[in-house]
Amino acid sequence: MMPLPQGSFEMGASAAEDEREGVPEKFRGWAVPERRVTIATGKAIGVYEVTRAEFGRFVAETGFSAGDACYILERDAATNQWGYQERRGKGWRDTGFRQGDDHPVVCVSWDDAKAYLAWLSRKSGRKYRLPSEAEWEYAARAGAEGARYWGDIPEVACSFANVADITAASALNWTLSNVRTFLCADNHVHTAPVGRFRTNRFGLHDMLGNVYEWIEDCWNDNYLGAPTDGSPWLTGDCARRPARGGSWISIQWNVRAGGRAWLVSGYRGISTGFRVARDP
């Protein structure tokens, strides 16, 4: 765990950033209005995404079942396009690609993450939970105001994050043109071991890339009426939850500190995991 410095920051992403990053029309305007958010003292967040080994200990001790199906990436034989398909027999133990114990756990839903956190809280006597969306973004930015904590040059990504890069594109035979793959090599086709890449200024690994991270809040289409004290926003569409930071499969516009995405809370997929947060 890493203590988060008390402070305030500008949360959100401007229309100008959405434009510059080539965010598709239907995904624009989700991270406005930008607003000042204050993070109270005493919060802490995981330095790493939760690993397969950590989730495995939870399952071994409790017998918890994280379902029997997961959305995996497959190439459609007819159209030759990659897309997500839900497959029985796939799950956090068998994702369809090689994962070591130190890789982030995937194929876990928001509810699975909450079950893990309840177990961890019982075991440790501390109150673990998912990060609020504000805490997550504060932690991801670590003082940076732009789209990414490593600065304005997208290709610097490959020393800071596991993203959709040249390695993945060549292994999976994607075309690089017009989808804004990161034009650098991070040397990982799928997930990477946690902590393999450089940290941001708060000492946190993989806040961008590797796996999308579940957030405590309910989903709202923009920040009108959102809390400004760092607490989770628990009204709105609670069947959907934010997932932040992009993943190993994400092209440039999906890998932004202020960018937002949502998933149905029961969704289990090969690019989604979580990290933990803790109150004082």
Q: Whose Cβ is closer to Ca ion: residue 21's or residue 206's? A: 206
- Nearer residue to Ca ion within complex by CB, 118 or 185: 185
Of the listed pieces 11-19, 71-79, 122-130, 244-252, which binds Ca ion according to CB under 5 A? 244-252
Choose one: 40-48, 115-123, 142-150, 154-162; the region binding Ca ion (CB under 5 A): 154-162
| Residue keyed to tokens 């396009």 | 81
* The one among 95, 109, 191, 210 contacting Ca ion by CB under 5 A: 210
> Which of 230, 242, 245, 269 forms a contact with Ca ion (CB under 5 A)?
245
Burial of 35 (0-12, 13-18, 19+ CB in 10 A): middle
- Nearer residue to Ca ion within complex by CB, 210 or 254: 210
How near is the Cβ of 213 to Ca ion at its closest, in Å?
A: 5
Q: Give the one residue of 186, 217, 255, 263 binding Ca ion; rule: CB under 5 A.
A: 186
State which residue, 12 or 209, has the beta carbon closest to Ca ion: 209
Binds Ca ion by CB under 5 A, chosen from 21, 112, 137, 165: 165
Type of residue numbered 112? D
Among 52, 188, 256, 268, binds Ca ion (CB under 5 A): 188
Q: Is 18 in the site for Ca ion (CB under 5 A)?
A: no
| 261 beta partners | 243
| 46 sits near Ca ion (criterion: CB under 5 A) | no
The nearer residue to Ca ion, 18 or 206, going by C-beta atoms, is: 206
Decide: is 168 part of the binding site for Ca ion (CB under 5 A): yes
Write down the residue that tokens 């893990």 correspond to. Answer: 116
162 binds Ca ion (CB under 5 A): yes
* Pick from 193, 199, 206, 207: nearest CA to 104: 193
Q: How far apart are CA 104 and CA 106, in angstroms?
A: 6
Cβ proximity to Ca ion, 131 vs 245, nearer residue: 245
Comparing CB distances to Ca ion, the nearer of 40 and 144 is: 144
d(CA 41, CA 58): 29
Task: Give the binding-site size for Ca ion (rule: CB under 5 A).
Answer: 9
Q: Tell how strand 272-273 and strand 212-214 pair up.
A: parallel
CB nearer to Ca ion: give 138 or 248: 248
Instruction: Using the rule CB under 5 A, give the single segment among 118-126, 130-138, 182-190, 252-260 that binds Ca ion.
Output: 182-190
Half-sphere exposure of 92 (CA within 13 A, CB side): 31
Q: Letter for the amino acid at 177? A: S
From the list 276, 10, 1, the residue with the least C-alpha distance to 137 is: 10
DSSP-assigned states of every residue in 213-278? EE-SSPB-SS-TT--SSS----SSBTTEEEEES--TT--GGGS-SS--EEEETT--BTTEE---EE
Do 113 and 278 meet the contact criterion of CB atoms below 8 Å apart?
A: no
CB 162, min distance to Ca ion, A: 5
The reply on whether position 206 binds Ca ion by CB under 5 A is yes
Residue partners of 252: CB distance under 8 A and separation at least 6: 21, 22, 154, 163, 180, 181, 182
Q: Applying CB under 5 A, which residues contact Ca ion?
A: 162, 165, 168, 186, 188, 206, 210, 245, 248
